[in-house]
Structure formats: structure tokens, C-alpha cells
Structure 1
């Protein structure tokens, strides 16, 4: 998920923006529609006044129709239509109020005014894009159709919302389009890191990502040149060193005394060992892909390491099931195990090493004194506790380098007189 953090952030911003705009427009739509309804509902006061005058003066229905027609309203007299509107229409607003009818009365020789209060309820109904007012009293009901008023029109608001929605969407699409070269660039960098030296970062784009890509192309060329120069230098150097070593080894046999022959033979053997270890270091550090990694049984790898170490098999105890497998570069991983065996033969008190699996990790146990320095000290090149030992101090450095190329690390524990090195 972290690999797509920028893309996820952009999509999250797009979602938040669109949702926010939608919520704002929805709330504005509801508010605007309610204001429109409240505004036109005030027309019921005109209907109430006309209806009250009709009741007070006892005018004919024709007169009531004529008064309503002035305001472009008409009474719905068809009962079927009334039922359709009242039951099938959408009630926009409803409000109750009182109508007061004043009349002069004469009683017991006195004249007085009598007020008759009639409770009314006005309901505004929308039906098929027309507005109706339904006036209800205790004993009757009057449905009036307003020819002038129309339903709330939201097309302008919808147009504005659609325009803003489209602008935001297009803007983010353009941003995502600009991010596509960045995604491709990341994949190319990953391939280059995995060892594909022929990958090309070159692009014709002139934006910031294009400039970065072209700079990477230039940097790739410099890195490839450095790697080729380094490899050529090291291989030529080792080749040139091996030739005089071979000649010196042959010439040693022409010396007069056995003591001199043994001394020079030892010197040239150590030089050859050092050159071989340098060659191995060069191979490990230049390992840039896993094409040579295959699955092997761990016991087979350990058998090969024991043969390379040329030690008595009774000095090595192997407590590992034949079902345990590792996907490794066989030669390098065998060399790492061989160096751990050599290390035990040089520094253990009983010249014995036990190889076993602990919690799924390959462990090497040998008796001896605890390391006098932290493990980090010993995995540096040319470091060792005892200079008199026949070693250049490259053994653990090679082991650590090989393990790193396999995605593992070297760890150390000391418990009850036992040094335990772990391939973790």
C-alpha cells in the first residue's frame, strides 16, 4: 500500500472533494427548494381572503371562480381529479389557521356583533408539475389549482453542480495522467536495481518527471561505466597476480633447502588464498540478480561445504532433516557454510562444530571463549583476534556479504561456553 501512497492520496483528495461538493450542493438544493416553497405558500393568504369573503357574502360559485381567476387560479370540481391530486400528489407544506367571520345580530332590542371562528387547514400539493392548494374546513374541502405557479425547477442548480463536478474530475484525471510517467519510472528504477542494466530512462517529456528521468539515464550510464571498469580492473588484477604466484610456486621447488621451499610454498599459498578470497568478494558484491538461485536440500549444501573445508567428518555433527530446503546460489552459500566450519576449527576448544536448525534458522555451535568484541567488529574485512592464526580476517566478512545477497544476516549468541552463529 505504501508503494502507491501518492496515487492513494490523489484518489482520496478526489473522493473528498467530490463528496464535499455533492453534500454542499445537496444541502443548498434542499434549502433553496424550501425557500421557494415557503415563498409561494404565502399565496394561501390570498385564497383564504377570497374564500372568507365568499362565505361572508354568500356569493355564488361563479363569483368565487371569477375572483380566483384574477390570480390565475381555478377550482378543481371533478371529484376523480380531486382524489388523484390529494392522494397521489406530494405534500410540499401544510399549515392550519383560523378564519373569523363577523355578523351583526339583533337580540332583545340590542344590536351586537357575532364573530364566528372557522378553523382552516391549507395544504400545498405538487402533482404533475402543477401546484394545488387544498383548503379544508370542518365540513368541506376546496381544491384550487394554481395556473401561474410551477414546480421547483432545479435544472440550473444541477447544471452548476455538473459543471463543477466535471471540472474537478477532469483536473484530477489530468493529475493522474501526470503521475503515470512517475509510476513507470518507479518500475524502471526497480528493474535497474534488480540488475537490468539495459533499461532506458530516457524520455522526451520536458516536465519535472521528464527531467528526473533524463538525469537518471545519464546517471545509469555513469554507473554502468564504473561497474564495467571495476570488474575489468579486478579481473585483470587477479589474473596478473595469479601468474607470478604460479611462477613463484614452481620456482620454489628449485630452492636448495627443504626449509626454504616450505616457507616460500606457504607464502605463495597464502597469496593464492588471498587472491581467491578477493575474487569471491568481487563476485558477491557484483551479484545483481538471482538467476543462479535454485532450490537445494540443506544437507546437500552442508556436505559440499564439509568437502570444501577438507575436515574430518567426525568433527562436524549435522542434525538437520533431509526435507529442509533453501533457495540459494549453491557455490556462494556453500562457501559461507565452509567458512563457518573453518572458523570453528580454528577457534573452538574441542575442534568440533554442530550444525542444526533452531526456530527455522541455520545455527553453528562450537565450544570456546566468548567473542571479545561485538560481532560487527569481526565482519569487517581484515579483522581477527589472534594475528598468529593462518587467516586474513576475511572469513566472517565473506559470510556476512554472502548472507546479505541472500536476504539473510549473521547473528551471534553465547551461552554456557558455546558460541552460536546463526544465519537469520
Structure 2
């Protein structure tokens, strides 16, 4: 429920509760006051009856006047009878009308009737107490609501301070679905993006010097030992390696950046493979198209992922051969090679180290992982009969 709706609902509840409380309190006090006055009148009437039976009316009128009563001729027609007693000869009634309460004593054909103003002092005395109680109740409810709002906001403040101080903030748990819950969700998304971006930049900054050292050393060695055509070929190979490093780093940084937007184009699965293969000429690659399917996604990024998978397969293949198969599930990459020393998840981390990294720069498979994750696709790995098999599944984005 939105905060605005909560405030409106709370205001309505408080308004209705105050009215209900006021009416019920007024009813209780009124009933209590009426009962008190009935008892008072009963005692006073019992005092007057002997004088009434003796015919001493002047004394009765004087006593009534002294106690705040006034004499009336008859009981008003709109009066409500509150109490009625009789012994067959003497009749006694207590009645109420408008703001008056009174009594009647009848004997034979004669009667006396007295009324007095109802006492509102009791209600007036309780007004301040009731008002203070209602204000206290409203204050407690508002304090509870304020506490409910401020408690999660304080958590958010602490997380923002952690993020500001360079500490990766913990994911905030969302227990409510109002504006604060939406704010928590947006913060979690922002925190995740910032954390990923900072980690990516941290990894790149920490490893870039090390990654460039090897190809640069090879270039330096080639220049000092070789000349002519052989030198040019080696230089081209090492420069291509440097170019791949820089391209992978730039691509990795781009997809980690906050303003990155994923395209959602429509194309055939064979198109993305051909896009990846156009810069890989001269390699032993076999392509078997069993079935081409339509997919949606970013053609360039998917081609980068496929190119990295192919280059990885070529680099670590025993015979330099890579078999690619297109079927209704996705794209399968197969190459012969030794079994991995670590779990496959290890090699999908940026700048991994292991036996599989011959001249490796440790970014290829991590870029594949990021691109596949962005497209909400799956990648499956298995090792079977001396062969590494990667399956890029398009199932989630097939239409």
C-alpha cells in the first residue's frame, strides 16, 4: 500500500474512532448522570412524601425550590418515564424531557410535579480528560507510523553511507510494497550496478599491467632476435594479441557501465555465427547447420560472445580444430583437449589463472558470461570422451 493511501486510511480511521469514542463516552456519562439523578430524586421524593400526605404543600414547594426544583402543573406529553412505582394508593414517577428531569407524586386525585435542569457539570469535567486521551492516542498512532517509516529509512541511510565510503553495501531486504519498498528496490539495483562496475574497474586496473607485460615482452624479444618476414609475422601476431586484450577490456567495461543499453534486434542464429567468424579466417573451424532459429538480442554482443568461445576453443584444442553445430536448442562448440583442473565456473571469472591459460588474458569467458547473463540465456559445459563441449542455449529468447 502506498504511503499516501496509508495516511488517508489512518486519517479516516482516526476520524471514525474519535467520533465513535466521543459518542460512546457521551452515552456512558449521560447514562451514569441520569442514574445518579434518579437516585437523588428518589431520596428527595421519599423525604417529601410524609409532608405531602399531611397536606403541607408550602413546605414542599419551599424544599423543592431550595434543591433547585420548580413546580409544574402536569407531566409534559413528550416526557420519557424513567421510573414508576405504586402501592395502589400512592404513585411515584421519574420522567425526563429535553434538558430536564423531574418527578411526580400522586395521591387520590391530587398530584405534585417538580422538574430541574439536568446537571452537565460531570460531562464538562470529563471533556478535558477525554480530549487529552484522544490527543495522546493520536500521538501514539502517529509516532508508530513515523517509526515504521524512519526505521527502514535509517537502514537505507546506513547503506548509502557504506556505499559513499567505498564499502559494498549489503542488499536491503524488502518487507513492504509502498514507496519505501520501491526505493529499496531501486537502491538494490543501483547498488548492484555500482558494485559490478567498481569491481570490474578494480579488476581491470589491478591486472592490466600484468596482462600487457607478456605480449610486450614477446615483441621486444622478437625485435632483438629476428628480422625480415619472420619478424613481421611475429609482430603481427603479438599486436593482434594486444588488440584482443584491449578490445576485451573495452567490451567488458562497456557492458558493466551504468548507462549501457542492450539492443533487442531480430535475426537468425546462423547470422550471429557468421558475424563472429568473419574475423577468424584461416582457422580449422567446421560449421554444421542442422536447424537455424530466430532469436532476439544484441547481434554485436552475441557475436563477441561466440567469437570468444571459438577463440578459447582454438587456443586450448589439441589439434586446433573446432566443430560448431547449430540446432533447435542453440549453438554447440566442441574441441579436443585435456580435462580441466578446476570447476568450469572458475574459468568464467575475470583474469582467472590456471593450466588452461596458455597465453591467456583471462577476460574472454568472463565477457561471455556477462553477455549471456544480459540476454537471460544459458551456457552449459560438459567434458566427454576427451572433448570440451560448450552449449549456448537460446531457449529463453526464442520466439
In the superposition, the TM-score normalised over structure 2's length comes to: 0.56
Deviates more, 1:370-379 or 1:411-420: 411-420
Equivalent in the alignment of 2:245: 274
Q: Does 1:45 align with 2:42?
A: yes
Q: Does 1:380 align with 2:374?
A: no
Equivalent in the alignment of 2:79: 85
Q: Does 1:289 align with 2:286?
A: no
Secondary structure of the 1:299 match is strand
Separation (CA, whole Å) in 2 of partners of 1:375 and 1:313: 24
Deviations 1:281-303, CA, capped at 9 Å, x for gaps: 33344x0224xx25432427973
Deviations 1:297-316, CA, capped at 9 Å, x for gaps: 24279735631343679445
Name the CA shift for 1:413/1:15 in 2 (closer, same or farther; >3 Å): farther
Q: Does 1:354 align with 2:326?
A: yes
Name the CA shift for 1:78/1:141 in 2 (closer, same or farther; >3 Å): closer
Cα contact 1:317–1:353 (8 A) shared by 2: yes
Equivalent in the alignment of 1:197: none
1:42 deviates by 1.6
Deviations 1:59-113, CA, capped at 9 Å, x for gaps: 387775455334222343356xx11233xxxx8xx455565xxxxxxxxxxxxxx
Secondary structure of the 1:289 match is coil
Equivalent in the alignment of 1:215: none
1:351 deviates by 0.8
Q: Does 1:339 align with 2:340?
A: no
Equivalent in the alignment of 2:271: 303
Deviations 1:136-192, CA, capped at 9 Å, x for gaps: 999999764114x4346634544444456557767959x96996xx69x97xx69x9
Separation (CA, whole Å) in 2 of partners of 1:316 and 1:248: 43
Equivalent in the alignment of 1:145: 115
Separation (CA, whole Å) in 1 of partners of 2:276 and 2:345: 26
Secondary structure of the 1:42 match is helix
Name the CA shift for 1:302/1:53 in 2 (closer, same or farther; >3 Å): farther
Q: How does 1:180-329 map to 2 (within 5 A)?
A: 255-256=227-228, 258=230, 262-285=233-256, 287-290=257-260, 293=261, 295-299=263-267, 303-304=271-272, 306-310=274-278, 314-315=287-288, 319-321=292-294, 325-326=296-297
Cα contact 1:135–1:141 (8 A) shared by 2: yes
Deviates more, 1:29-38 or 1:345-354: 345-354
Q: Does 1:69 align with 2:42?
A: no
Separation (CA, whole Å) in 2 of partners of 1:134 and 1:421: 102
1:273 deviates by 1.9
Name the CA shift for 1:65/1:355 in 2 (closer, same or farther; >3 Å): farther
Cα contact 2:310–2:333 (8 A) shared by 1: no
Separation (CA, whole Å) in 1 of partners of 2:30 and 2:275: 90
Separation (CA, whole Å) in 2 of partners of 1:137 and 1:392: 120
Separation (CA, whole Å) in 2 of partners of 1:413 and 1:138: 114
Deviations 1:182-241, CA, capped at 9 Å, x for gaps: 69x97xx69x99xxxxxxxxxxxxxxxxxxxxxxxxxxxxx9xx99x989989x979x99
